[in-house]
Amino acid sequence: MDLSAFRRRPSPPPSMATDPRSTALLKAQPRGGRAVNVSRILATALIILPVLVLLSIFFRDNRPSDRASLFADAGVLEKKDAQNAEVSASGSAQNTSLSDSDDVSSKSAGRGAGQPRDELLGGLLASGFDEGSCLSRYQSSSYRRPSPHKPSSYLISRLRNYESLHKRCGPHSEPYKKALEDLKSDRAVGSTECKYVVWISFSGLGNRILTLSSSFLYALLTNRVLLIDQGKDMVDLFCEPFPEASWLLPKDFPIANQFNSFGQSSPNCHGNLLKNNMIYHPEKPLPAYLYLHLVHDYNDHDKLFFCDEDQRAIEKVPWLIIKSDNYFIPSLFLMPSFERELFNLFPEKETIFHHLGRYLFHPSNHVWGLIARYFNSYLARADERVGIQVRTFDSGDGPFPYVMDQIIACTQKEKLLPEVNVRGTVSAPSGSSKLKAVLVTSLNLGYAENLKSMYWMHPTVTGEMVGIYQPSHEGHQQTEKPLHNRKAWAEMYLLSLSDVLVTSSWSTFGYVAQGLGGLKPWILVKPENRTTPNPPCGRAMSMEPCFHAPPFYDCKAKRGIDTGAVVPHVRHCEDISWGLKVVEGHQEL
């Protein structure tokens, strides 16, 4: 609505019946014309007075401050561009399922009302994008509190430099076409202007997001351009992160049809070439591309990727093709050649995925519609939002009673959810009662239903009101279905908007949510022998994801080593004892 008409109240014209100048004029007029003028004046007054009364009432009830307060109470933000589509916040109170519709809106979450939005996240994001093409890039700051973790000026500078490199070397550029010629010849000529990391779409969505962020950081460290395999649904899930150039690998890429067959025995596999002494042979030229097998089943030769000596040879190859299902960033911190640069990029070491995730992964307009509609319908009005992510790896159909008991024990022991009074009576409603909205994500509906029943049947001992919501319950993971992945991405993002978070051990789904939200979750201990663990959960050391399958190898000594005890800022994970994660260490170079 255009409010400009309400900003200045027009002065009503004076009534001629009371203006002394009009009285004097009447007295000066000839008697013959005086009766006519009086009749005209009275008729005019009868018309003007009702109009003035109506205008007075209208402006009194529509003062600018009142209208502005109505918009503020509704949490609606004025749009910079009126032509952009908006996300509809309408939703059925009886149905908490994610709606698969394309309408999108700018309705805010009510976070930081009255404060300017930090749309560019402290300089992390580049300006100049078309807002309508990716609404989440500009609207997401309205749905969460400002992050206390600010990107370093060095990281911001390196990201702007990378964007220039990507624009110069991206798909269909002249350097890209030249590099393709080298690829087709299968020889590393050595004079290629631009070099590339090609990420293969592989594994579940949580794994894909984590490996893609790892591949991007590696590209940033080695001055390469990241291009991603489109797979079945990558275009539908994420917006383009880099200005003026796509990160999507063109579908006519010469060896794209071989991606599914790449493995440890592939002719251009880095580990395979090392095993057969074919990569450093002085009489054999380097290949135009290397396949890097960094999947959880990789062998000892594949793991030499994390040694500086091998990086010096890999550096000369124009095309690197990566397949992984791991967040391999912790092992990059153990490489002397990268350590100083990583310290400069991330002075707060546990913010790596927090910054890279918010930089790279912006929900597409379609997915943003799912997120915004659900949030505004069920979560926006809560005083506190609690996210509970449940993933079980035991066989059989849930919900499992021992997992349900574990969830209740954890959330009540850590004061995340109030206890209930099984013998209490319902007290009169209070306007000051705190409302907690609990978002449950699980493949199974039973955990949310049990929580909902508990808080419906019994009052809380604190007087707090608790609402339980679960967007979807797919039964089992269906990574091959685009709609399933759109819902999964929406739920990860919704979890990241929580104030506090409970996640499941081993789950990359939870890792993504905690990293995007900048949250240190309470991690549910993995149950053994189908019994509730004691303690049921523990607080994470950092918000960084876990590298589930790291190498245990000293590249200099060429022997096995505990890589979780080399430096103070890389430790074993809470949920996987052999995994590695980055934490805030105190020792600097």
Asked if 270 and 386 sit in the same domain, the reply is no
Quick one: 317 and 386 in the same domain? no
Domain end point (choices 71, 104, 119)? 71
Boundary (domain end) residue, out of 18, 43, 71:
71
Q: What residue numbers bound the domain in which 455 lies?
A: 377-582
Please state, in angstroms and as integers, the Cα–Cα distance from residue 504 to each residue in 255, 495, 574, following that order.
38, 13, 11
148 belongs to a structural domain: no
Using the predicted structure, report yes or no on whether residue 147 has a pLDDT greater than 60: yes
pLDDT surpassing 50 at residue 16: no
What's the pTM?
0.82
Same domain, 187 and 323: yes
Q: In the prediction, which pLDDT does 70 show?
A: 24
The reply to whether 47 falls in a domain is yes
CATH number at residue 556: 3.40.50
Tell me: do 158 and 299 sit in the same domain.
yes
**Rounded to an integer, what distance in angstroms lies between the CA atom of residue 291 and that of residue 279?**
12
Q: Is 384 in the same domain as 317?
A: no
Q: 331 and 434: one domain? A: no
Q: Is residue 204 part of a domain?
A: yes
Q: What is the pLDDT of residue 331?
A: 98
Determine how many CB atoms are found less than 10 A away from the CB of residue 148: 8
What would the pLDDT profile of 533-548 be if each residue is shown by its tens digit? 999 999 999 999 999 9
Better-scored residue on pLDDT, 31 or 187? 187
Domain total in the chain: 3
pLDDT band at residue 422 using 50, 70 and 90 as cut-offs: confident
pLDDT on residue 489: 98
Q: Coil, strand or helix: which one is 144? A: coil
Residues 249 and 356 in one domain: yes
The predicted-structure confidence for 274-300, as pLDDT tens digits, reads as follows 998 888 766 678 889 999 999 999 999
In a domain, 521, yes or no: yes
Same domain, 37 and 184: no
Fill in the DSSP letter of residue 559. B
For the stretch 433-462, pLDDT in tens is: 899 999 999 999 999 999 999 999 999 999
> Is 2 a residue whose pLDDT tops 60?
no
**CB-count exposure of residue 296 (10 Å: 0-12, 13-18, 19+):** exposed
Asked if residue 146 is part of any domain, the answer here is no
pLDDT value for 425: 66
Give the pLDDT score at 486.
96
Strand 319-324 and strand 196-199: the pairing is: parallel
* pLDDT for the residue 59: 41
pLDDT at 585: 76
Contacts of 510 (CB under 8 A, 6+ apart): 389, 391, 495, 501, 503, 504, 521, 523
| Confidence grade of residue 185 (pLDDT, cut at 50, 70, 90) | confident
**Euclidean distance between CA atoms 289 and 224, whole angstroms:** 13
347 and 483, same domain (yes or no)? no
User: Which residues on neighbouring strands pair with residue 291, listed in sequence order?
Assistant: 269, 321
Is 459 inside any structural domain?
yes
Among residues 360, 386, 420, the one where a domain terminates is 360
Same domain, yes or no: 418 and 546 = yes
In a domain, 322, yes or no: yes
Tell me if 97 is assigned to some domain: no
* DSSP annotation string for 254-313: TTGGGGGG--TTSTTBHHHHHHTT-SS-TTSPPPSEEEEEESTT--HHHHGGGSHHHHHH
196 by DSSP, 3-state: which?
A: strand
Structural contact between residues 95 and 60, judged by C-beta atoms closer than 8 angstroms: no
Do 470 and 545 belong to one domain?
Answer: yes
pLDDT per position as a tens digit, 499-526? 999 999 999 999 999 999 999 999 999 9
Judge if 544 and 476 occupy the same domain.
Answer: yes
